[in-house]
Structure 1
Amino acid sequence: MHDEYNVQAGLNPRTVREYDEAITRVSLGYKSVDEYYSNSCSCHVVQHVRIPLLCIQAANDPIAPIEATPYSDIKDNPNCMLIVTPQGGHLGWVAGDDAPFGAPWTDNVVIEFLEHLQKNASKPESS
């Protein structure tokens, strides 16, 4: 590892970035938090996706900020689909009153997406 952990800063971070600087980047062997963020960004790989990919992003996600979403790369790749919700935080899409502590509504969306892919994979290509 390039540095020692900054345990005190990791115990009392004011932002996700401060935690990542103190703990995460060191755990993963990065020299800086910016290097960690750059290497963790999907913007470097989205254009290479060759199978169907469903991306679900909350606009208020504090861990994966909306500003880092590679909109143009996703739009330009016919294999990629993006759903952006105004709320949800980081993986916090609760299904509502029926399931406030159960599975998030995104589970059903992903299942529908996969079922659609399976159904269409079994159809012969039209000429």
Structure 2
Amino acid sequence: MSFQPVFDEFWEKVKESITNKTYAKLTLAKTIGDTDLKNIYVRPVLNDGIFSLSVIARYKTEEIESFHSLDEAYIILSSYMNNPFLTALLFTTDNDITFKINKKRAGSIIEQAPTFKSPSDVILEMKEKGM
């Protein structure tokens, strides 16, 4: 069974959290084996009033930041799922949503109580500006 349809469902929750202004942050974690790439962090940013996502790839010796649209970020992040990451964690003010890939490479989504009480600063700014 492929994990991709479940990841697509997870990504819909990411988009909903941005639309509903509840998004706090997104992290890809739990790698397969010892890899150079340790984590990927995704945070919203506003550059000249234009919304994009900051994708920070944290390696053993450096961090590389790039900026992408929502659709571009989906393509980039989905390419890292299962190679090397097994887990994506979406933190919102409503709940924490975890996407996991098991040993049989099947995906699942788990929802838990929220870790964050308020959305990211950029989401708050967008809310104030009515974006």
Q: Normalised by the size of structure 1, how large is the TM-score?
A: 0.26
Name the structure where helix makes up a greater proportion of residues: 1
Q: Considering only CA atoms, is the larger Rg found in Structure 1 or Structure 2?
A: 1
TM-score by length of 2: 0.26
**Which of the pair is proportionally richer in strand?**
2
Q: Which has the higher contact order (CA 8 A, sep 6+)?
A: 2
